[in-house]
Amino acid sequence: MLGNDIVDLDLAKIQSNWRRKNYLDKIFTTEEQLLISSAKRPDEMVWLLWSMKESAYKIYNRKTGIRNFAPKSLNCTIYPNNDQIKGTVSIDNDTYFTKSDIQLQYIHTIAAPIYGKLEKIKVTIYQSPNHPGDYRSTKPGCVSHHGQYLALVY
């Protein structure tokens, strides 16, 4: 199973005011809030953590059938690297491994239940208006879309 999430950063700026009172308390753990408050680019950190949670939740949901997205119950750990960001997301007794790509326009995260699978995941990202209408026929392992971006993983 694979997980995948993409955040259109321009749209996120318009749609979400994560700085409003109590917003972070509802979504992020104390440790994650510390990462956000100490980040050089806190907006980027918010959406990085969000995409990690979303991508891991997509696997967890398919595995368990539980449809209860409670973001604070998903605990992120980040392991920064020079060219990419790897991490883990823990949900109940499960751990999912993540790899994130941060671009100026979007943040994209993939997740897998086994660390070694991350390097084998193939990613295709489309920007509107170039979304293929028949992308489901390619049988992606997971689909994510936000704003003008569509991300497929195989």
Residue 37 to residue 20: CA distance in whole angstroms: 14
- CA 37 to chain CA centroid, nearest Å: 19
Element (H, E) at 24: helix 23-27
**Domain residue limits, the chain:** 3-120
**Across all residues in the chain, what is the average pLDDT?**
93
Q: What is the pLDDT of residue 147?
A: 96
Q: What is the pTM of this model?
A: 0.92
Local confidence band at 107 (pLDDT 50, 70, 90 cut-offs): very high
Residue 41: pLDDT over 90: yes
Question: What distances in angstroms separate CA 149 from CA 10, 69, 131, one per listed residue?
Answer: 11, 22, 8
- CA 90 to chain CA centroid, nearest Å: 13
Average pLDDT over residues 36-60: 96
Q: What is the pLDDT of residue 82?
A: 66
Q: How many residues does the chain have?
A: 154
In this predicted model, which residue has the larger pLDDT, 131 or 4?
A: 4
According to DSSP, the β-strands at 3-8 and 106-112 are antiparallel
Residue range 24-36, pLDDT digits in tens? 999 999 999 999 9
Residue range 55-97, pLDDT digits in tens? 999 999 999 887 877 889 999 999 977 667 999 999 989 999 9
CATH architecture entry for 3-120: Alpha-Beta Complex (3.90)
Among left, alpha and beta (phi > 0; psi -120 to 50; other), residue 100 is: beta
